[in-house]
């Protein structure tokens, strides 16, 4: 199963050019880390340049056109197809962004795990792709309110592709 895991603002904002995060939501990040642990993750080069080193507990695969890219411990590949080939024996594969990689992977994804942040971020330069409720079913939704550690409320949603091939 291929899962897209993201957090996005009201206008699908994911991040900005500088890489400085648009929000700091510790419970959201902790849930994300817990969900990917033990599964391979596929990430775009720009997003990997933000984290700079592999996320522990997962095989990290970075996609770049650059044949000389130093993955600093991550596996470096040059297409989504090559990334998926490396992990074809795995039952669960997480694709964790950014915008270019989500856009490329949306047509082949089985599930979307997305935290919808209840705020807008005009400075964003990377966006989650639009997807249609004609093609996706909302399986679950749970809200996290604003509190002393969370400046914005967010709703964690799990979407599944309609009519997906249940053998995978
Ligand atoms: N909120 C979230 O859930 C979330 C998640 C992830 C990232 N982010 C944020 O998103 C932003 C980065 O996203 P982004 O959309 O700008 O970039 P990105 O998707 O992370 O990476 C884009 C890069 O991936 C490589 N790439 C894309 N398509 C390729 C292909 N077909 N073949 C080979 N390589 C390919 C290219 O690397 P080269 O230029 O090296 O060739 C391209 O520049 C950052 O601000 C990050 O913090 C947010």
**What's the predicted TM-score (pTM) here?**
0.97
Q: Is the CB of 77 under 6 A from ligand 1?
A: no
What phi and psi, each to the nearest 5 degrees, are found at residue 118? -85, 60
Residue 49 domain-assigned (yes or no): yes
Q: How far is the CA of 147 from the centre of ligand 1 (A)?
A: 31
pLDDT higher than threshold 80 for residue 164 = no
Instruction: Please tell me the total count of domains within the chain.
Output: 2
Cβ(16) – ligand 1 distance below 6 Å? yes
Is the shortest distance between the CB of 6 and ligand 1 below 6 Å?
yes
Residue 98 has pLDDT above 70, yes or no: yes
56's CB contacts (< 8 A; 6+ apart) are none
Across 132-146, average pLDDT: 97
Flag whether pLDDT at 167 surpasses 90. no
Q: Which of 21-25, 103-107, 150-154, 159-163 has the lowest mean pLDDT?
A: 159-163
Residues 69 and 17 in one domain: no
- Please indicate whether residue 112, judged by its CB atom, sits closer than 6 Å to ligand 1: no
Cβ 129 under 6 angstroms from ligand 1: no
Nearest ligand 1 atom, CA 127: 15
Stretch 81-104: mean pLDDT: 98
Is the Cβ–Cβ distance between 44 and 101 less than 8 Å?
Answer: yes
Query: What is the Cα–Cα distance from 28 to 17, expressed in whole angstroms?
Result: 21
- Cross-strand bridge partners of residue 95: 4, 42
Please give the distance, rounded to the nearest whole angstrom, from the Cα atom of residue 148 to the centre of ligand 1.
31
Q: Answer yes or no: is pLDDT of 53 > 60.
A: yes
pLDDT greater than 70 at residue 44: yes
Residue 168 has pLDDT above 70, yes or no: no
Residue 165 is predicted with a pLDDT of 63
Q: Are residues 46 and 32 in the same domain?
A: no
DSSP state of 50: H
Average pLDDT of the residues in 135-152: 98
What value does the mean pLDDT of the chain take? 96
- Name the residue range of residue 117's domain: 7-37+105-168
Query: Same domain, yes or no, for 61 and 11?
Result: no
Whether 145 is in a domain gets the answer: yes
Residues 152 and 168 grouped into a single domain: yes
């Amino acid at each position: 199963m291929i899962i897209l895991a993201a957090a996005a603002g009201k206008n699908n904002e994911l991040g900005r050019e500088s890489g400085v995060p648009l929000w700091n939501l510790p419970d959201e990040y902790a849930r994300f880390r817990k969900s990917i642990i033990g599964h391979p993750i596929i990430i775009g080069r720009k997003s990997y340049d933000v984290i700079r080193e592999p996320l522990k507990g997962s095989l990290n695969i970075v996609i770049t056109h650059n044949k000389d890219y130093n993955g600093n411990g991550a596996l470096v590949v040059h297409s989504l197809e090559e990334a998926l080939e490396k992990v074809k024996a795995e039952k669960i594969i997480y694709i964790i962004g950014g915008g270019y990689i989500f856009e490329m992977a949306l047509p082949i994804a089985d599930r979307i795990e997305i935290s919808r942040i209840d705020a807008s971020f005009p400075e964003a330069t990377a966006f989650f792709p639009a997807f249609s409720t004609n093609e996706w079913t909302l399986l679950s939704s749970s809200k996290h309110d604003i509190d002393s550690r969370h400046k914005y409320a967010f709703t964690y949603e799990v979407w599944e592709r309609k009519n997906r091939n249940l053998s995978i």
